Amino acid sequence: MSFLDLLSLDFMQRALVAALLTGLAAPAIGTFIVQRRLALLGDGIGHVAVTGVALGLLTGTSPTWTAVVVAVLGAVLMEVIRERGHTNGDVALALLFYGGLAGGVLITGIAGQGAATLQAYLFGSLNSISFTDVVFTAVLTVVVLVLTLGLSPQLFAVSSDQDFARVAGLRVRGYNLLIAVLAAVSITVAMRTVGLLLVSALMVVPVATSQQLARSFRATFVGAMLVGCVASVGGLLLSAALSFRVAVAPGPTIVLLALAMFTATWPIGVWMRRRSRLMAPFPEVTAAPHRSADEHVHEHGNDCGHPAVPHGDHVDYVHDGHRHAPHGEHYDEH
């Protein structure tokens, strides 16, 4: 069987649709989570959802449903702890992470299931996605996208400045809970493809990649969804191609592909930020004493290699830590 034959298989097509939806939903809510500087929130919810999956295995109900319920409850609990406790409440969140993971593994053991069953949920799986799962994933993705896009002005205001949003009359607690619940929902969406332990990466890494190049929130948001789709579909195909030789879960390949895209854009981002810092205009200060540069043999120009930085109505050339402004036949020190 060749790689292209693999694509014609039903389970593979279902997996691809699920991956595409995951790649859209996770970065969409992830952008607001990163904006709130809660990048690890997704990781915490993912760990708590392990207990949800285990409860599904124990009771014989669909692990997807129990994971949604437990993840939403965990997200709300984390939000309450964060709001009532310290501003970060990071230790409390960490306790919840470990509790979720340990509880999940314990309950799976009690249910009589081996680690292999749980592994499909922890790191994703190519062939465990049923048609119902795909429909379910599609519905949840639509909910996440409609709410994040439709409420983006409100979510942006709340994520960037809580005090300001509260005085503007927004129900900040409600929006915070909404962000946490949407994060929980997209984590359950991503569970089948990336897996619970790596799902947070799909919320954070595409955003980190996108913001290397983007200057606006909107561009970061759209770019993150694009990176998310490429990473999850590409990672899934990669894992399928590798499956002829070795058994690789799709989660690791998706995350590593996203990280590779970050690694590729990061140097460009560093260069762009350095350049914009160098070229930022100098402040205009009145009544600076006139000083001319001594014995200046070099002639500054457009392509002389020295950054020409705007300074009021002229430019200063940055030259060996000095600022040289053209003045008639010579250069002034500014």
Verify binding: residue 215, other proteins, rule CB under 8 A.
Answer: yes
Least separation in angstroms between CB 283 and other proteins: 6
75 to each of 82, 99, 134, 200, 297, how far by Cα in Å?
Answer: 10, 14, 23, 13, 66
Q: Does 108 help bind other proteins (rule: CB under 8 A)?
A: no
276 binds other proteins (CB under 8 A): yes
When asked if residue 282 is in the footprint of other proteins (CB under 8 A), the reply is: no
Question: Looking at 22, 31, 51, 209, which residue binds other proteins (CB under 8 A)?
Answer: 31
Q: Looking at the DSSP assignment, which residues form a beta bridge with residue 251?
A: none
In the complex with other proteins, the residue whose CB is nearer, 166 or 327, is 166
Q: How many other β-carbons are positioned within 10 Å of the β-carbon of residue 146? A: 10
Nearest to 15 by CA among 289, 297, 222, 243: 243
Does 220 help bind other proteins (rule: CB under 8 A)?
yes
Quick check: 166 binds other proteins (CB under 8 A)?
yes
Give the residue, chosen from 7, 95, 241, 304, that forms a contact with other proteins under the rule CB under 8 A. Answer: 95
80-89 in b/e form (b: 16+ CB < 10 A) is: bbbeeeeeeb
Does the protein bind other proteins through residue 218 (CB under 8 A)?
yes
CA distances from 100 to 47, 48, 52, 94, 189 (A): 5, 4, 9, 10, 18
Please tell me whether residue 200 binds other proteins under the rule CB under 8 A. no
User: What SS3 state is found at 285?
Assistant: coil
Stretches 11-19, 50-58, 244-252, 272-280: which one binds other proteins (CB under 8 A)? 272-280
Q: Is 85 in the site for other proteins (CB under 8 A)?
A: yes
Give me the least distance between CB of 108 and other proteins, in Å please. Answer: 27
